[in-house]
Amino acid sequence: MLSLTVSFARSLSGYDRVVQVNDQIVIPGRDCPLCPRLVAYREENRRKWSEWHNAPVPPWGSVDAPLMVLGLAPGVRGANRTGRPFTGDHAGKLLYATLLKFGMALGDYREDPHDGMELIGVRIVNGVRCVPPENKPTPSEISTCNRFLKTEFKGMAGLKVILALGLIAHTAVLKAYGIPVSRVKFAHGAINPLPGGVLLADSYHVSRYNTQTGRLTTEMFEAVVREIRSHLSGPLQSNSGNDFPAPSPRRPSRGS
């Protein structure tokens, strides 16, 4: 009997519709047909900017990573343009600066997918893989793309912590695990247990609006990542397979 994942992959036969990453993980291919509104917007963007990625944005990072960072959806001039999560717009600045500071990334972030940066023990995923009009996916689009998120959780055998950026990402995690949304409330800085010993950590989204209004400060986000790092014991592995004992960042002295 075929597994649910393989059956799902075959139901969308064709490389441009779905891609099988491993025995469990399935990602939407370049021409995923599941959400008509997003397909229409994707085609519109392809006509306007033919040199852009303009396709479902694949996860970035090793499937063996212990930490998943879950965002909402690609930004039209960010990941939709560059093809790498949180790359090319404002949201990536705080995220990658913090991962670099805590030894969970290596290199320099230059808003370019060819900047040579590596993730260390982190896989970055969007709950909705295609860019939505006005950066607002509908509930049905979130639900449809949740089937891909479920395969990520099944296929990441070493997953220990999921960092949900925002309420919608938090809700997507609960739905993927089959947990009633009312049972686990979203709260910035909260950490809650999930089945299988995985932890769900919440943060406000690293969006331009949140950071510029002060809803999310650098210190607030760093505090969340610092707490997450305390739950990830031992060295972390980079995309290239090298082990790094991710260091804790130096705390500023009093009065600085």
pLDDT at 6 over 90: no
Is 255 or 34 the better-scoring residue by pLDDT? 34
Q: What is the DSSP string of 208-242?
A: HHHHHHTSS-HHHHHHHHHHHHHTS-S-EEBTTS-
pLDDT at 109 over 60: yes
Q: Above pLDDT 70, what percent of the chain?
A: 84
Q: Which stretch of DSSP H or E encloses residue 9?
A: helix 4-11
Largest CA distance in the chain: 65
The CATH number of the domain covering residues in 58-232: 3.40.470.10
- Tell me the pLDDT band of 22, cut-offs 50, 70 and 90: confident
What is the pLDDT averaged over residues 247-251?
40
- Please give the pLDDT value at position 213: 98
What is the pLDDT averaged over residues 202-215?
98
pLDDT at 8 over 80: no
Within 8 A by CB and 6+ apart from 203, the residues are 163, 164, 165, 166, 188, 189, 216, 220, 221, 224
What residue ranges do the domains of the chain occupy? 58-232
Q: Name residue 9's amino acid.
A: A
What six digits make up the tokens of 235? 């060295």
pLDDT at 1 over 80: no
What Rg value do the Cα atoms of the chain yield, rounded? 18
